[in-house]
Amino acid sequence: MRDLLNPSMRKWLGIALAVIVLDHLAKFWVSSALDYQEAIPVLPFFSLVLVHNTGAAFSFLADAGGWQRWFFITVGIVATVVIVRLLKRHAHDAHLAFALALVLGGALGNVIDRVVLGHVVDFLYFHYKSFAWPAFNVADSAITVGAALLIRDSLRGKQASASKP
């Protein structure tokens, strides 16, 4: 517990908390403003739409019968423990810690939905003609950006070690 309260950890946990708060404020607003499956066009290629996802990314396992809720909650909790341990170990590495904080906040944002609501609230919907990307939310965006930063950093690390004699 003491490690979680040191200043560098507080910064990264604060970023994760900010993601959770922003995610839930957006979900609350959309849930208050829209009826289920109601869509409001914002741009020709972007709409706000209120949908509930009982599955994972791209509604994977959404129709699995209910067991997936507890499975994804468990995965989210395990991921949280692993990410917090990684954050403690790498709190001094700003690039890595920032990416981990984004993934942590996003994972917990969706876990909270699953625990409280039994599903994840999604509302950001990109589409163009016959192509449509599945709706997603702020937590999903944070996870995606964090994962992309982790991949970028791992590739940079390999390039740096490959260039050393």
What Rg do the C-alpha atoms of the chain give, in angstroms?
18
**Which member of 35, 113, 140, 153 is catalytic?**
140
Q: Which residue has the tokens 């997936």?
A: 68
Task: Give Cβ neighbours of residue 54 (< 8 Å, ≥ 6 apart).
Answer: 61, 62, 63, 64, 66, 68, 69, 118, 119, 120
- Mark whether 140 is an active-site residue: yes
Phi, psi of 29 (to 5 degrees): -60, -50
The question of whether 63 is a catalytic residue gets the answer no
User: Which DSSP string corresponds to 85-142?
Assistant: HHHHHHTT-HHHHHHHHHHHHHHHHHHHHHHHHSSEEEEEEEEETTEEPPPB-HHHHH
**Which entry of 35, 63, 122, 153 is annotated as an active-site residue?**
122
Catalytic center residues: 122, 140
